[in-house]
Amino acid sequence: MTYHPFKDHGSWKMLIGGAFVPGGAGDVLEVTNPATGEVMGQAPAASRADVAAAVAAAEEAFTTWRWTAPEKRGEMLYDIAQRIGEHHDELVDLETWENGKPRVQSKRDVTNAERTFRFYAGAADKFYGHSVYDGPTETRKIVFEPYGVVAVIIPWNWPPMHTADFAALALATGNTVVLKPAPETPLSSLRIAELAADVLPPGVLNVVTGGVDTGVQLVAHPDIDFIAFTGSDRTGEKILAEAARRILPSMMELGGKNASLIFPDADLDKAVEGMLRSAYFNSGQACSGSERVLVHEKVYKAFMERFTAAVAGMAVGEGFDERSVVGPMVSKRQQEKVQGALDRATAAGARIPARAELPRDARLKGGYWIPPTVVTEAAPDAEIMTEEVFGPVAGIIPFKDEDEAVAIANAVSYGLTSGVWTRDLGVAHRMATRLEAGVVSVNRVNTGELGLPFGGYKRSGVGRKKDFQEAMRSFSRVKAIQIALP
């Protein structure tokens, strides 16, 4: 039996100051099943007063949370991880309903959320400043302090994991949080907030749901001390403009147009398998996925034969069907965005040598489907090869040597992840150093491993998450203290 977000849960409320509230203005978000296009039910949309109440609650809670012993904060984060584990199946179903992805992919996401809370539970009491000089008449030291109230704004592609990434990190470093999930997928964050509310003091974690307006109000609130944003670079730009006006520190996890480079000596079977995963996992709605596959001309034909055959055979279907490898787009808007990019590419001369089949079930007719698609014969500087599509579209580009591969890979405004497939250690090392990306993976696909800093170069963002040192520092301000001893 699957857990239904409305039949099994009942009405959804926001978490503000430790209380579950329905939303002051009575506005609602419609929660849709992306596989059918049917509205399943409603979640609240925060009013301006709700946002203000959440920030006030976080500010109030900060006065004690910041002085709560780190090991105590860690214990609470550990308890949240335990609770996520105990409610694993239900969270997996929730995500599958609201996002549409295959259940096996939701499982990975919920497990990652649990692990992230556990990771930062362990990190909370292992992050501390140090003494620079300790003499008989003077002491000098460096300490890390929390910022205060962190506004967390996240997208819809991995809702439990995005909730955990910034909430666990902010709480571990002694900050309090007001989190706003994407309007397409509010339920995973609300459910995690319900589980956390039994553990945390009131106001330490607040979740307000809503769309762009709620995000704008949250970012503009004068009592926010730090902004942690994950989403598109265009929204990041707007948020940074507001942050710049107020000289507000912020972390930006933005888009990508990632390239994977396949060299002639690569294990082609592994490379094909890796590219299927990298380009089409989560229906291509993955900031770290490879939207560009650069293939050396010596193996182009062999790669294309295997890759196009595999793509044509990918099973597209609803998330609760165990045979599905690829689910729908999250929303009609996303479906139209991806289809628009494909239409413009083919109108400009690109070819589509392979495409998977759409689901045949009449029940899924209204779903937001885009089948896994391969695009060729578009110039490396064409829109489809340079602008983020954020859908199941892999653009294939041939290259003749290392220099050309690096030039093409780096010639976009983004720099989030890169992949290299080769058996030659020299090539691997040269590519890893020359590629402009925050993460380079050789002979494997990036899977957002905890412990490795994740973040982008160029328009892909500012700051790092998922690791210990960089992430904990990003969410802390540095103070130098010098005391002349009497």
Nearer to ligand NAD, 224 or 345 (CB): 224
Stretch touching ligand NAD by CB under 6 A, among 8-16, 132-140, 249-257, 304-312: 249-257
Q: Select 294 or 416, whichever has its Cβ closest to ligand NAD.
A: 416
Catalytic residue chosen out of the listed positions 253, 291, 388, 436: 253
CA angle 12/85/448 to nearest 5° reads: 95
Would you say 176 and 65 are in contact if contact means Cβ atoms under 8 Å apart? yes
| Beta pairing partners, 316 | 326
Pick the stretch among 21-29, 103-111, 233-241, 267-275 that binds ligand NAD (CB under 6 A). 233-241
The mark string for 348-387 relative to ligand NAD (x by CB under 6 A, - otherwise) is ----------------------------------------
**Does 178 sit near ligand NAD (CB under 6 A)?**
no
Of the candidate spans 96-104, 107-115, 188-196, 209-217, the one that interacts with ligand NAD by CB under 6 A turns out to be: 209-217
Nearer to ligand NAD, 180 or 221 (CB): 180
Cβ-proximal residue to ligand NAD, closest one:
215
Nearer to ligand NAD, 176 or 258 (CB): 258
Residues 6+ apart with CB under 8 A from 45: 23, 25, 27, 28, 29, 183, 209, 210, 211, 214
The HSE-up count of residue 341 (CA atoms within 13 Å, CB side) is 25
Q: Of these, 39, 69, 142, 212, which contacts ligand NAD (CB under 6 A)?
A: 212
* Near ligand NAD by CB under 6 A: residue from 59, 253, 318, 436: 253
Residue among 174 and 183 whose Cβ is closer to ligand NAD: 183
Cβ at position 11, least distance to ligand NAD in Å:
21
Q: How many CB atoms lie within 10 A of CB 270?
A: 13
Would you count residue 461 as binding ligand NAD (CB under 6 A)? yes
Between the alpha carbon of residue 53 and those of residues 38, 56, 141, 195, the distances in Å are: 33, 5, 37, 21
Stretch that binds ligand NAD, among 136-144, 247-255, 294-302, 404-412 (CB under 6 A): 247-255
> Which residues inside 129-168 make contact with ligand NAD, applying CB under 6 A?
153-157
Catalytic residue among 287, 291, 388, 436: 287
Instruction: In whole angstroms, give the CA distance from residue 302 to residue 308.
Output: 10
CB of 225 to ligand NAD, least distance (A): 16
Of 70, 74, 98, nearest to 2 by C-alpha is 98
The reply on whether position 232 binds ligand NAD by CB under 6 A is yes
287: annotated active-site residue: yes
Annotation marks residue 138 as catalytic? no
Question: Among all residues, which ones are annotated catalytic?
Answer: 253, 287
List contacts with ligand NAD (CB under 6 A): 153-157, 180, 182-183, 211-212, 215-216, 219, 230-232, 235, 238-239, 253-256, 287, 388, 390, 416, 456, 461
